[in-house]
Amino acid sequence: MPLGRSGRTEQAGLTEARLPHCGGLHTRDGSVDYFQIAGGKRLRGTVEISGSKNAALPIMAASILCEGEVVLHNVPDLADVRSMEVLLNKLGVATSREAGGTVRLKVQDEMNCHADYELVRKMRASVCVMGPLLAKRHKAQVSMPGGCNIGDRPINLHIAGLTGLGADTDLMSGDLLLKAKRLTGAELFLGGPFGSTVTGTANILMAATLAEGRTVIESAACEPEVTDLANFLKACGAQISGEGSPRITVDGVKQLKGCEYTIIPDRIEAGTFMIAGAITNGDIHLRNCRLEHLLAVVDRLRQIGVNIEREGEEVVVSSSRRLEPTTVTSQPYPGFPTDLQAQIMALLCLADGNSIITEKIYPDRFMHVAELNRLGAVLRKEGPTVIVEGVKRLIGAPVMASDLRASAALVLAGLVAKGETTVNRVYHIDRGYERIERKLRPLGADIERLNRATEDS
């Protein structure tokens, strides 16, 4: 809860087992690095928001389609991005990283078309290579990703879209095999039981750029990351219109060329730091933040009592001492993002009253509930909904991260909890936040990354 209140108180070439994550190493079971947080510090200062992970990954995969070099700027240095580099290396794409978030990619060998289980199980975004491989190399063999800690996430819509473009599919030893001598444009519907598929839209969009004729994607995902992918593909020579709307039209071309492109800022990281400012009753200035990508989040935060204003090129976040309860329902963009559901739950734990959070994208995405309760929260799960009863304060304790955004929520809760909080399995947070403790410390947070292997030696 906001402080002072008397009341209520988420290298290319290395083996996957030791992928670097912005300066550290982790084991597969996450037993090495952990965060030690002493709560009770108001956050003040300026933080730079990194490039979008969810935009960078499919754009990097799209380099498979291109003739010539692709130069990407504002690429975040994350475990998932490094995993994508490793996968692309295996698929014949040379990658090199430069200071300042620039990554260069160039196809050198088109023989390998297999994204194997060891990488896909580690990073579901590996399935993004399916569309580009099929379109450019006429074959894709990608391990089926299976379930994950936020619930079942099938790729049936990806498969339906690619077969609609003319691919033949088969399943062998847990791998999905797709082949097509040529892809032909078609009218495709990508709506699913929980809304449009973001990664599925990306896969079909990339494949359609080299298909013969026109492809119309109905019920396409409208997320800014999909729009960013479309803008990148257009910079490479693709003919695309309607991106950012539920109907995207693609007229296939014979070839795409490399280009130079800058990735959009990460709206989820920006939203996380907004909530960090709110939960500590702080005053944070965000640079490289596109407020227009966060309107649903801003709406809910303002209703809770968080002040969010533009000041020149920055976004300023502060909060009142008394937080109001509210209702939150995750929805496809432009609705409230599922990737900020856990973080806003941490904030609402300290609101003055009861809040209701409903998850409509991944109904099982509530593994953070039990861990927040360990910190003194009062949360009750009822199906896809959690009832949040506001409390006066949270109390530090050891907690275990279960997924990327849940780990961010536990860090946020630790920042305000009385005493010390230990967040284990921080390799989850390294997948999507660029060394988050190094961004929090200059704001005044008492957070340290520790390493048990070093302590035990």
Phi, psi of 207 (to 5 degrees): -65, -40
Q: How far apart are the first and last CA of the chain?
A: 38
Answer whether 337's CB lies under 8 Å from 271's CB: yes
Two structure tokens written together for 424: 């284990």
Answer whether 53's CB lies under 8 Å from 80's CB: yes
Assess whether the previous peptide bond of 334 is cis (omega < 30° from 0): yes
3-class secondary structure for 297-308? Answer: HHHHHHHHCEEE
Two structure tokens written together for 108: 């050198």
Residue 314's H or E segment, with its range, is strand 314-319
Q: Of 389, 384, 287, 304, nearest to 344 (Cα)?
A: 304
Q: Measured between alpha carbons, how far is 346 from 60 in angstroms, rounded to an integer?
A: 33
- Cβ-based neighbours of 283, under 8 Å, separated by 6 or more: 42, 43, 44, 277, 316, 317, 318
Two structure tokens written together for 2: 């906001």
Q: Of 37, 32, 134, nearest to 443 (Cα)?
A: 37
Q: Measured between alpha carbons, how far is 307 from 316 in angstroms, rounded to an integer?
A: 8
Amino acid identity for residue 253 in this structure: V
**Diameter over CA atoms, the chain:** 69
H-assigned helices in 280-403:
295-304, 341-348, 368-374
Q: For residue 322, give the 3-state DSSP assignment.
A: coil
Catalytic residue among 128, 148, 236, 349: 148
Compute CA distances 297 → 108, 134, 142, 340, whole Å: 42, 37, 35, 8
Q: Is 22 a known active-site residue? A: no
Q: For residue 18, give the 3-state DSSP assignment.
A: helix
Q: Active-site residue numbers?
A: 148
